[in-house]
Structure 1
Amino acid sequence: MRIDAVQAQRVLIDDAFRPATVLVHRGRIEAIEPVDHEVDGVVVRAPDTAYVVPGVVDTHVHINEPGRTEWEGFVSATEAAALGGATTLVDMPLNSVPPTTTVEHLKLKQEAADGELMVDVGFWGGAVPDNLADLEPLWEAGVFGFKCFLSPSGVDEFPPLDPDQFHTALTEIARFDGLMIVHAEDAAVLDVAPVTPGRAYRDFLLSRPDAAELTAIQRVLDGARETGAKVHILHLSSAKALDLIADAKAEGLRVTVETCPHYLCFAAETIPDGSSQFKCCPPIRDAGNREELWQGLRAGVIDMVVSDHSPATAEEKGRGDGDLQQAWGGVSGLQVGFSAVAQEARRRNIPVEDVSRWMSRNTADLVDLATKGRIVVGADADLAIYDTGVEFRIEATRLAHRNPISAYDGIRYGGRVTRTVVRGNAIDVEHPDHRWGQQLRRPGS
Structure 2
Amino acid sequence: MSLMDLVIRNGSVVLPDEVRRTDIGIKDGRIVRLGTIAEIEAAEAIDAEGLHVMAGMIDVHVHLNEPGLGDWEGFESGSAALAAGGCTTYLDMPLNGIPPTVTVRALQMKLEAAKGRSLVDFGCWGGLMPGHLDDLEPLSEAGVVGFKAFMSAPGDPGEEAFRNVDDATLFEGMKRIAKLGRVLALHAESEPIVSRLAASMRTQGATKAADYSASRPIEAELDAVRRALGYARETGCSLHFVHISSEAAVAAIEAAKADGLDVTLETCPHYLTLTEDDLERIGPVAKCAPPLRSGAEMEKLWTCLKAGRIDMIASDHSPCPASMKATDDLFEAWGGISGAQSSLELMLDEGFAKRGVPLPQLSRLLSYEPARRFGLHPRKGEIAPGADADLVLVRLHAPYRLEAEQLLYRHKISPYVGRSFSCQVVSTYSRGRLVYERGSGVRSLPSGEWIGTSPSGAKAGNTAL
Q: TM-score range by the shorter chain?
A: over 0.9
Residue number in structure 1 paired with 2:115: 114
Is it true that 1:424 corresponds to 2:401 in the alignment?
no
Contact between 2:278 and 2:286, CA under 8 Å: does it hold in 1? no
Residue number in structure 1 paired with 2:193: 189
Residue number in structure 2 paired with 1:213: 221
User: What are the equivalent positions in structure 2 for 1:241-252 lying under 5 Å apart?
Assistant: 241-252=249-260
Is it true that 1:441 corresponds to 2:448 in the alignment?
no
The code of the aligned residue for 2:66 comes to E
Q: Which moved more, 1:188-197 or 1:309-318?
A: 188-197
Residue number in structure 2 paired with 1:288: 296
Q: Which moved more, 1:155-164 or 1:84-93?
A: 155-164
Q: Once superposed, what is the RMSD of the aligned Cα atoms? A: 1.6
Aligned counterpart in structure 1 of residue 365 of structure 2, from 358, 370, 392: 358
User: What are the equivalent positions in structure 2 for 1:200-349 lying under 5 Å apart?
Assistant: 200-273=208-281, 275-318=283-326, 321-345=327-351, 346-349=353-356
Deviation, 1:38, is 5.4
Q: Deviations over 1:32-76 (max 9, x none)?
A: 11277654321122131x210000000100010111111100000
- Residue aligned with 2:340, SS: coil
Residue number in structure 1 paired with 2:463: none
Contact between 1:199 and 1:273, CA under 8 Å: does it hold in 2? no
Deviation, 1:79, is 0.5
Name the CA shift for 1:363/1:392 in 2 (closer, same or farther; >3 Å). farther
Deviation, 1:274, is 6.5
Q: Deviations over 1:144-199 (max 9, x none)?
A: 00000111011232111111211010011011111100000011111222424555
Residue number in structure 2 paired with 1:398: 406
User: What are the equivalent positions in structure 2 for 1:92-103 lying under 5 Å apart?
Assistant: 92-103=93-104
Residue number in structure 2 paired with 1:387: 395
Q: Distance in 1 between matches of 2:15 and 2:332?
A: 47
Name the CA shift for 1:394/1:198 in 2 (closer, same or farther; >3 Å). farther
Is it true that 1:62 corresponds to 2:63 in the alignment?
yes
Q: Distance in 2 between matches of 1:311 and 1:413?
A: 22
The code of the aligned residue for 1:437 comes to G
Q: Deviations over 1:79-102 (max 9, x none)?
A: 001111000011011211110000
Q: Distance in 2 between matches of 1:298 and 1:33?
A: 30
Q: Deviations over 1:246-300 (max 9, x none)?
A: 2111111000000000000011124335711110000110011111111212222
The code of the aligned residue for 1:121 comes to F
- Residue aligned with 1:440, SS: strand
Q: Distance in 1 between matches of 2:338 and 2:416?
A: 8
Q: Distance in 2 between matches of 1:425 and 1:162?
A: 45
Contact between 1:75 and 1:434, CA under 8 Å: does it hold in 2? no
Q: Distance in 1 between matches of 2:246 and 2:39?
A: 48
Is it true that 1:161 corresponds to 2:165 in the alignment?
yes
The code of the aligned residue for 1:10 comes to S
Q: Which moved more, 1:248-257 or 1:292-301?
A: 292-301
Contact between 2:58 and 2:88, CA under 8 Å: does it hold in 1? yes
User: What are the equivalent positions in structure 2 for 1:113-132 lying under 5 Å apart?
Assistant: 113-132=114-133
Contact between 2:7 and 2:42, CA under 8 Å: does it hold in 1? no
Q: Distance in 2 between matches of 1:414 and 1:133?
A: 49
TM-score (norm 2): 0.92
Q: Distance in 2 between matches of 1:269 and 1:421?
A: 37
Contact between 1:260 and 1:305, CA under 8 Å: does it hold in 2? yes
Q: Distance in 1 between matches of 2:182 and 2:119?
A: 28
Deviation, 1:400, is 0.3
Q: Deviations over 1:80-129 (max 9, x none)?
A: 01111000011011211110000000000000000001100110000000
Deviation, 1:130, is 0.6
